[in-house]
């Protein structure tokens, strides 16, 4: 009989758009013996996980929990619970994941009002206001905080005022940003937000942390139709995850081992501290950018709005981008990502997320990339990329 061990799975350095490398403590947590999903010990772990999620989201929202599914399940949870057929929903589209939100909203029966920007650029409050002015009765405005397909970092701090003034809810995709850069749910007036475990939280893929504020819960409570997804109905999920209940109500069998892993990953985030963790991501991003510049490679997202954790970079003219990625993977055990959509074949996406965001990984990638590019005829002076990155660290 074949087994996983027969595959000789390599130890990769994961520097793509996700997943990121996982801390040994998280892997060890996953091997903890199973208990039932209503076992008192697991219920205690659920409470602990929710409290840690509130810390990372920077919120006091009671309805804060991990959805069973990856970040796309979190997207569907937020939209399916908030949207009813015929609702007007403003969605920022400046990359793949804004486009995906439009598709999910349509499947919920909404009438999306698309607010568009060039790939790699971000939206302003004025653009949000203009989109709201095109609506009769907007239900919500949805923005991607960290657009993984382009490396663009959307400012959120000044967005809630025009959205709330229009009577709409503010929904945020934080799949790539949670745990890697500042995200303040309560202070920024965000009503609903979702993320994923496999990016800056450095937990295996499989759960999607979400949080709903009271205004969003009030909207859900006033629905005239049932949520189209039974599995993702937060009113039902709340009966299982609500720590204030005398008795938890079974909804579906929770992914026990993944919840162990998430709790441990969140503990590591808290031990490091959010400010220190954000500073680490910023420091490694800046050193990588300096090293890439020495190789003649530029970041493509809008200047001043470039993510620390996901670097979308230009492929040099004449270079076979797929061949370079293949060489990095097969010769150096380093994974980086290809471009998506409009950026397919034009960019590489280099992730420095969570455990993968380290000085050692930055220097290893630059040294390896320099060697591979030289093999493909790109002019490189040996050692210049690493030297530039080291200067950035100093």
> pLDDT digits over 53-71, tens only?
999 999 999 999 999 999 9
Confidence band of 281 (pLDDT split at 50, 70, 90): very high
Q: Is the pLDDT of residue 8 over 90?
A: no
What is the pLDDT, as a whole number, of residue 2? 67
Please state the rounded mean pLDDT for residues 225-254. 91
Ordered structural domains, the chain, with CATH: 24-270 (3.40.640.10), 273-393 (3.90.1150.10)
C-alpha of 94 from chain center? 16
> pLDDT digits over 167-188, tens only?
999 999 999 999 999 999 999 9
Question: pTM of the predicted model, to two decimals?
Answer: 0.96
> pLDDT digits over 102-115, tens only?
999 999 999 999 99
DSSP label at residue 33:
P
Confidence band of 243 (pLDDT split at 50, 70, 90): confident
Average pLDDT of the chain is 96
Tokens 């039902």 belong to which residue? 236
Please state the rounded mean pLDDT for residues 131-148. 97
What six digits make up the tokens of 53? 């999620």
Cα–Cα distance, 22 to 201 (Å, whole number): 9
Burial of 373 per CB tally in 10 Å (0-12, 13-18, 19+): buried
């Amino acid at each position: 009989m074949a087994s996983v061990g027969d595959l000789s799975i390599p130890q990769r350095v994961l520097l793509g758009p996700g997943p990121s490398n996982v801390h040994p403590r998280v892997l060890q947590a996953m091997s903890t013996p199973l208990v039932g999903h209503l076992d008192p010990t697991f219920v205690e772990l659920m409470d602990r996980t929710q409290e840690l999620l509130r810390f990372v989201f920077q919120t006091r929202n009671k309805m804060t929990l991990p959805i069973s599914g990856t970040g796309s399940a979190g997207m569907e949870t937020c939209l399916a619970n908030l949207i009813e057929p015929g609702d007007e929903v403003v969605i920022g589209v400046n990359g793949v994941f804004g486009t995906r939100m439009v598709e999910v909203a349509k499947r919920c029966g909404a009438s999306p009002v698309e607010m568009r920007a060039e790939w790699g650029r971000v939206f302003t409050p004025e653009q949000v206001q203009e989109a709201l002015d095109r609506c009769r009765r907007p239900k919500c405005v949805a923005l991607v905080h960290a657009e993984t397909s382009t490396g663009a970092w959307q400012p959120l701090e000044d967005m809630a005022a025009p959205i709330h003034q229009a009577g709409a809810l503010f929904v945020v995709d934080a799949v790539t940003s949670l745990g890697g850069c500042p995200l303040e749910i309560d202070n920024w007036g965000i009503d609903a937000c979702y993320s994923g475990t496999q990016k800056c939280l450095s937990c295996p893929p499989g759960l999607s942390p979400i949080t709903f504020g009271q205004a969003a819960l009030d909207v859900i409570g006033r629905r005239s139709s049932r949520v189209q997804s039974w599995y993702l109905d937060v009113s039902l999920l709340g009966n299982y995850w609500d720590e204030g209940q005398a008795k938890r109500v079974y909804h579906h069998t929770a992914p026990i081992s993944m919840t162990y892993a998430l709790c441990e990953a969140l503990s590591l985030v808290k031990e490091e501290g959010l400010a220190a963790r954000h500073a680490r991501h910023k420091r490694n991003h800046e050193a990588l950018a300096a090293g890439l510049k020495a190789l003649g490679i530029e970041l493509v997202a809008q200047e001043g709005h470039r993510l620390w954790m996901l670097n979308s970079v230009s492929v040099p003219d004449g270079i076979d981008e797929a061949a370079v990625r293949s060489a990095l993977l097969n010769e150096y055990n380093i994974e980086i990502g290809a471009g998506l959509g409009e950026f397919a074949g034009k960019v590489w996406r280099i992730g420095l997320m969570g455990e993968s965001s380290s000085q050692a990984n930055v220097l290893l990638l630059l040294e390896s990339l320099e060697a591979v590019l030289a093999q493909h005829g790109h002019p490189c002076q040996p050692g210049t990329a690493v030297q530039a990155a080291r200067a950035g660290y100093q």
